[in-house]
Structure 1
């Protein structure tokens, strides 16, 4: 492979033959143009333009008994739909999933309307041309009007809809303390479907990570204040607590993985943002 390699690891995989689904061991090599699954005496090359779906954890029924942590890549090969199932450790699967989606989607031409709605009010914004970039937990659109970022931890709802520009994804999310809806379309239906898959996978992982996290009313108030820009020195006055109580509160939130204290000060983790999004959505409905 002459082009740049962006992922290269050894794993077990099956190339989607239901007649012989038992996996083999080989190398998984990814470039910006193609995915190569190399065995000892053969290889399968999959152009990224042929990939139409990517799933994590779901394995075709005929292969279930052979795999555990997996990523499945559905693609077309000479008019035939095939599925390559790759098994690796859960962290490796997670990293490869993000790299693969970035390779397929980054730089894609898009049209975005932001915000299309503020609460329930329709705005007069129009669709603008932009380019899509993704990173873990974030979808970013850059265009002449600036950059719009959607943090998936702030998302409360998304679905596919039809607009004058064609099929779009409408995402309702919290933005600067408000509930807004952004709409965006992608240059091809295949890539729009893949972006929808990426959103579902990333959002489900975030939601799962906070399923067992409980937060008191005081903790939720503190999270909302931090989301609104409050630093640790502001919380006592905003919440009506003394400084020692705020310190205990922040320690508890940190232990639960909901806040971070970095070089830029106090901030919410993705899990903390998801809890705040749920809170804002409840207040605004």
Structure 2
């Protein structure tokens, strides 16, 4: 390893070279190997040693089912450069991918707009350089203006992409919806292509991590949108023109699927005979 290069991951696994010199290998198959990830490269050690520099990655983590051998594999990470694609499978894919995100992004410099949108309102904020730090549970940015921004990896509601001119260059911009102090915000991110390629995969992984596989009806979608726009849960029945019991059923289902969470319980009360007597006494004393 070169000076300053550190090992982040070392496990037995397997790989498949799906593309070589720009051409798909239709008869490609899996080969056992040792998977070594450092701060600078992925090294696949099998019958020979293959090395992929982190900075050459153009896309990562999306499926590339070049043939049936790839398609039947439940989980793998695709590593794409200009003219090669390697598929890598390890015993713990999440651990390998987090290590890959760290290798690619830790201490890298991105451009950040935060908050670009707050409560649905676009904010007039400048792009600011930020140093990136990836952990198992969060993406953190230490911004040049002193801000500290944290995006929890299991709190990424949606990710959109856009093409814009930023800092004099045409760039891919990721618009990340998440929460901050219990309010919905968007943080916009961009940077050099090898950083944004990996950041995009990390963000999409966050979206998929807790995306509920629901078949919501129209009223249920109205409830979610009403809550997102700030309507009080107690005002939802009137807002969607449904009785309280129906809305409570919707809440229960959305809680079950981790779409909403209970912040505090409302206690339903009714007077007992003793209570009615006490109320009568109080009225008589007036």
Shared fold (TM-score, shorter chain, > 0.5): yes
SS at match of 2:157: strand
**Aligned position for 2:284:** none
Distance verdict in 2 for CA 1:163–1:155, change over 3 Å: farther
Provide Cα deviations, 1:131-173, integer angstroms capped at 9, x if missing partner: 1122234221112422101224333332122254353222222
Deviation at 1:11, TM superposition (A): 1.3
The verdict on how the C-alpha distance between 1:157 and 1:23 changes in structure 2, with shifts beyond 3 A counting, is closer
Determine helix, strand or coil for the equivalent of 1:207.
coil
Q: Please give the alpha-carbon distance, in whole angstroms, between the structure 2 residues aligned to 1:102 and 1:217.
A: 38
Q: Which of 251, 264, 283 in structure 2 is aligned with 1:217?
A: 251
- Distance in 2 (CA, whole Å) between partners of 1:225 and 1:145 is 34
Q: How does 1:30-45 map to 2 (within 5 A)?
A: 30-39=37-46, 41-45=47-51
Are the counterparts in 1 of residues 58 and 193 from structure 2 also a CA contact under 8 Å? no
Equivalent residue, structure 2, for 1:64? 70
Report the structure number with the largest CA radius of gyration: 2
Residues 151 and 241 (structure 1), Cα distance of their counterparts in 2 relative to 1, 3 Å cut: farther
Quote the RMSD (CA, aligned, Å). Answer: 3.0
- Measure, in 2, the Cα distance between the counterparts of 1:64 and 1:164: 38
Q: Is 2:230 the partner of 1:203?
A: no
Alignment of 1:50-199 (within 5 A): 50-55=56-61, 58-61=64-67, 63-64=69-70, 67-76=73-82, 81-89=83-91, 92-143=92-143, 144-161=145-162, 162=164, 164-165=166-167, 166=169, 167=171, 168-186=173-191, 188-199=192-203
In the alignment, does 2:31 pair up with 1:24? yes
Unaligned 5+ segments in structure 1 are: 227-234, 243-285
| 1:64 counterpart SS class | helix
Pair 95,7 (structure 1): closer, same or farther in 2 beyond 3 Å? same
Per-residue deviation, residues 19-51 of structure 1 (Å, max 9, x unmatched): 651222111111101111111x41111111122
Q: TM-score, normalised by structure 1?
A: 0.67
State whether residues 65 and 71 of structure 2, in contact with CA within 8 Å, keep that contact through their aligned partners in structure 1.
no
- CA 1:22–1:145 in 2, change beyond 3 Å: closer, same or farther? same
1:116 is paired with a residue of what secondary structure?
strand
Match of 2:267 among 240, 263, 275: 240
Unaligned runs of 5+ in 2: 216-248, 270-286
Partner of 2:219: none
Partner of 2:7: 5
Q: Aligned partners of 1:15, 1:102: CA distance in 2, in Å?
A: 23
